[in-house]
Structure formats: C-alpha cells, structure tokens
Amino acid sequence: MRTLALYAEARGRLLQIEAQEAGTKFSEIFILVTVLCGCLLFGWMLALPAFVWIVANSLGWPWWHVALWGAGLHLFLAIVFFISLKVRLSKLRVFEETFHQFQRDRDAIGNLPPRQ
C-alpha cells in the first residue's frame, strides 16, 4: 500500500507541475490574443473610414460599394485566420509527460507476472 501511495503522490505531483506549466502557457497566449485583438480593432476602426473615402473618390464608386467590398474582404480574412487558429489549437499539446508516464506504467503493470 505504501508503494501505491508513493506512486499516486508522484503522479499527482507531476500532474500538478504540468498543470501549472499549461496554465502559464494559456495565460500568455490569452493576454497576447487580447492585446492583439484590441490593437487591431481600434486601428481598423480609425483607418477604415479614411480608406473607404480614398478608394471611393479615386475610383468614382459610391462609398457604400467600397464599404461592402471591404466588409467582404474582412470576413474572408476572418475565416482564414479562424481556420489557422483552429489548426494551431489542434496541434497544441499539454500534459505530454504525464501521459507518457501513464503509458509506461501501464506497460510495466502489463508485464508483471501474475500473483500466486
């Protein structure tokens, strides 16, 4: 029983260390994404009316045509970046060492001779 308790304690400690590491990684990513989104949002909110006016005047189009084309472009880019984010998140790996340890433990337990 003591061995089992030590084993559970060691695995619990490993899980705790990796959970802290994962929390740090996710916090950093969340902060960066939040700042990025804020900067992009305010920058585009300030710049787009000027771009619409410049393009509409230079091409002789109505401003609302230019605004709709700009909106379509932004929606297309949003879909592209959403797919990119989804791919990156699917490749994100956390608790790898814990899972490797559990697999090694399963293999070791499976190789033990049966009790008599």
d(CA 81, CA 77): 6
Which band of pLDDT confidence, cut at 50, 70 and 90, is reported for residue 10?
A: confident
Q: How far is CA 85 from the centre of its chain?
A: 6
Which band of pLDDT confidence, cut at 50, 70 and 90, is reported for residue 113?
A: low
Q: Would you state the pLDDT for residue 92?
A: 78
What percentage of the chain has pLDDT greater than the value 70?
93
Where do runs of H (alpha helix) occur along 1-116?
Answer: 2-59, 63-91, 96-110
Q: For residues 61-80, b (16+ Cβ closer than 10 Å) or e, as one string?
A: eeeeebbeeeeeeeeeeeee
